[in-house]
Amino acid sequence: MVSTLRSLSTGTALLLLLTSAPALAVTNLVADGDFETNGGNGELGVNTSVADWTVTPYPSSYFFVWNAAPGTTSGTSADHAGAQSIFSTSPTNPVKLWGPGTGSNNGLTVSPNGGAFIGSSPAFHNGPISQTITGLTPGVATIVSFDYAGAQQTGFSGPSQAGWAVSLGSQTIDTAPALTVGSHGFSGWKTATLTFMPTSSTETLSFLSNRQATDVQSFALLDSVEVNSVSVHRGVIPEPSTWAMMALGFVGLGFVGFRQTRRAKPRAA
């Protein structure tokens, strides 16, 4: 392959490589990964819901959704209107997070996509949120990406940590390192990218907030979930010889460019 590329111009070699390489396509398999389709602020499985996602209601989970709050310092309702829980006896007793609206200048902000996000407290009736993912290719690496952060519920004090245990089928990966949340603090939003190897075309994706020994009613926050599966020629995986050919092709292109540079360089007198 390399000897063939040596006899070609750079443009011709590149055209050959592109036309012989397999076509790649990336497809996001998650529905409502931004949690924008929801029933309003509240506790999931109790007084609200988010489309396409499933939780087992309290006491098997303690999940909340907070929508955006334009015009506020933080941009989110999490430190303003808050969310009613199973324990709320009136609208004046919602679950809120520490932030500018609750007297803490901790930098709490709306999630990177500017919309709703969800959160779970690992220290209190912890349970997962899940969605059935279809269209996976068994044995092919699948990327799960999302934005996450750590915060603390108002009324509580003390440092804590936050993170997620993410499962796709039987495989579980923890976000690491755990996010540090100071007393009345906020970790800031981070992006995680985890690689899974599905064993079936249909598997369950789930998120379970991590509990730390020092936890003081922290909340792990989550948004912008995507599951990206790479398909080649409509799902057909290329043979090892095909990948080898592509690798040799790129090496050959580098060699051609090097030879042309040497030809173009004038010789010293």
Ordered DSSP codes for 37-76: SBSSSEEBTTTB-BTT-EEPPTTS--EEEE-B-TTSSSSB
pLDDT at 216: 76
Burial 201-239 (b: 16+ CB within 10 A, else e): eebebbbbbbbbeebbbbbbbbbbbbbebebbeeeeeee
| Cis amide linkage into residue 128, ω under 30° from 0 | no
pLDDT of 230 > 90? The answer is: no
For position 231, what pLDDT does the model report?
58
What are the pLDDT digits (tens) for 88-120? 766 678 999 999 999 999 999 999 999 999 999
Closest by CA to 54, choosing from 130, 167, 134, 132, is 130
What are 27-78's pLDDT values in tens digits? Answer: 899 999 999 999 999 999 999 999 999 998 888 789 999 999 999 999 999 9
Contacts of 123 (CB under 8 A, 6+ apart): 211, 215, 216, 217, 218
CA distance 10 to 1: 14
Which tens digit of pLDDT belongs to each residue from 147-187? 999 999 999 999 988 999 999 999 999 998 889 999 999 99
